[in-house]
Structure 1
Amino acid sequence: MMGVHFLDARGPEGVRLYAVGDIHGHLDLLAEMHARIAAEIARDRPPDWRIIHLGDLVDRGPDSKGVIEFLIAAVARDNRNIVLAGNHDQGFLDFLDYPDPAGLFARNGGPETAWSYGVALRMADALGLHQTHAALVRAVPDSHRRFLRRLPAAITFGDFFFCHAGIRPQVPLDEQDPRDLLWIRGEFLNYPALHPKVIVHGHTPQAEAEVMPNRVNVDTGAFHSGILTALVVDEAEKRLISVEVPRVSGRR
């Protein structure tokens, strides 16, 4: 099977792409990244552009509610803002449907997400969980739930395929299991051969963005590093940009 190498990959003619890594409730970093991108677009005036957010909007950081509101407004303002689903976004929806105290949301930033909606989750006892889950369900606007439910799992532009976690190797891109697109790690990360397109993803935080022949990982662990990273593709040109806000999640 023929594949595309990162060095040879090209974006669509006349369209600049920005692929933004996992946000995890850090509205300050997201706003700073959008300001950086807006300044570049105003300066360079590309014929067209897309900003692709690779999922994991919520959990761990202090303002998941604000992140969702920011992106709802961005998409409404200009549909060239694209938001993909992440496993933590799905976990939030799952918890709203059924409050599992041992699930992804509860164990990985759920209390911080709930607090951004003004709810202090109590999960040590069944009654506390029942009461605070009910309060969270009331606090989360229907517009937020609709937005998260409608997020696509993947999108492609030119020689690049964008998703949250990665793909199942040797499975056609249009036949990928949505769960793999949100959750896969080892089989994808360790696969050495080229894919039909270069896969741009997040999900697995690294100290620095990973640029491999067959994939690019732009998750630089914003929730603990304070650094949000994006891949920029402008036809044949590829580069990375990052923004940093001091004093987020233990950084300085």
Structure 2
Amino acid sequence: MIAFYMISFFKNLFSPRKSDPVPIVDRLTYAIGDIHGRADLLTRMIDKIREDSYAYQEKPRVVLLGDYVDRGPASDKVIETILKLKNEIWCDLEVLMGNHEMSLINFLEDPESGSTWVQHGGGTTLMNYGVQAPPLRSDAEAWIEARDQFGNNLPRAHLEAICAMKLIIYGGDYVFVHAGVKPGVPLDDQDAMTLLWIRAEFLSATKACNYVVVHGHTPTPEPFNSTWRIGVDTGAYATGVLTCVRLHKETRQFIHVT
């Protein structure tokens, strides 16, 4: 009897473990990384996705992972492109909010946050909508005036689109967020600050949750691809490379435009 248990013990010890099941997405999905004012790259990516999706004979879901404004040259045109894409019938569009969209909203609510926003690229967005950022961080009156002018110049449709952006989207074994998730915390309990801003704690986790997390926010020279995390922010505004990942059943494929 002892010999039997010893044999069983060593058999279990040295036998290969069953691998985790391969994650599967619920439908053909394209998730696009941070755009940051590069309306030209977004247009090229949309055209490429549309052409690519024809081979699957399935209406694709297109997920935008946030950070459409700031840094790049044409934030207003990016938002306009998103509005037009919502009316297209060839795809189902899902639009996530990024931390830069939240900073825009914060500025409209609190003009004192404007100088911080500008330090992180918000000045180009202000200029896109015909507003010059005040030169002095401490000039509260000038920031109030800039906020009021920005609020007047920002088309209502653009503001409504930004305010309607989602924080999290699910698709089969995948979850889509802008920045990431806090490891060990149920997804229903994740707060907006985490989903929009988290970095180190999420990026260092082997498996942050029971879904494959698809995200942007943290730029890398090449897209990141592991079993439980996919990062598709390749710094489009600076590198001129916009990336998306195509998910179909068990497969993943990265697509780039320049």
Name the TM-score, length of structure 1 as normaliser: 0.88
| 1:19 corresponding residue in structure 2 | 31
Q: What is residue 200 of structure 2 aligned with on the other side?
A: 186
Cα deviation per residue 1:186-212 (whole Å; 9 max; x = unaligned)?
Answer: 111111236211000010111111112
| Preserved CA contact (<8 Å) 2:202 2:208 | no
3-state SS of 1:156 partner? strand
2:79 aligned with 1:65:
no
How much does 1:130 deviate? 3.0
Segments ≥4 residues shifted beyond 6 Å: none
CA RMSD across the alignment:
1.8
Aligned-pair CA distance for 1:133? 2.4
Output aligned runs, 1:104-123, within 5 Å. Answer: 104-123=116-135
Counterpart position of 1:50: 61
- From the CA coordinates, give the structure whose radius of gyration is larger: 2
Structure 2, gaps ≥5 residues long:
1-18
Contact 1:84 1:164 in 2 (8 A): yes
- How is 1:73-152 mapped onto 2 (pairs within 5 angstroms)? 73-78=84-89, 80-100=92-112, 104-124=116-136, 125-152=139-166
Q: What amino acid sits opposite 1:57 in the alignment?
A: Y
Give yes or no for contact 1:194–1:213 (8 Å, CA) kept in 2.
no
Structure 2 CA distance for aligned equivalents of residues 155 and 123 of structure 1: 39
- Once the two structures are TM-superposed, the CA of residue 77 in structure 1 deviates from its matched residue by 2.9
1:228 equivalent in alignment to 2:242: yes
Alpha-carbon distance in 1 for matches of 2:124, 2:35: 14
Identity of aligned residues (%): 35
> What is residue 3 of structure 2 aligned with on the other side?
none
Q: What amino acid does structure 1 have at the position aligned with 2:112?
A: D
CA distance in 2, matches of 1:30, 1:93: 22
In the TM superposition, residue 101 of structure 1 has moved relative to its aligned partner by: 5.1
Higher helix share: 2
The aligned residue for residue 223 of structure 2 is: 209
Q: Distance in 1 between matches of 2:45 and 2:225?
A: 20
**What residue ranges of structure 1 are gaps of 5+ in the alignment?**
245-252
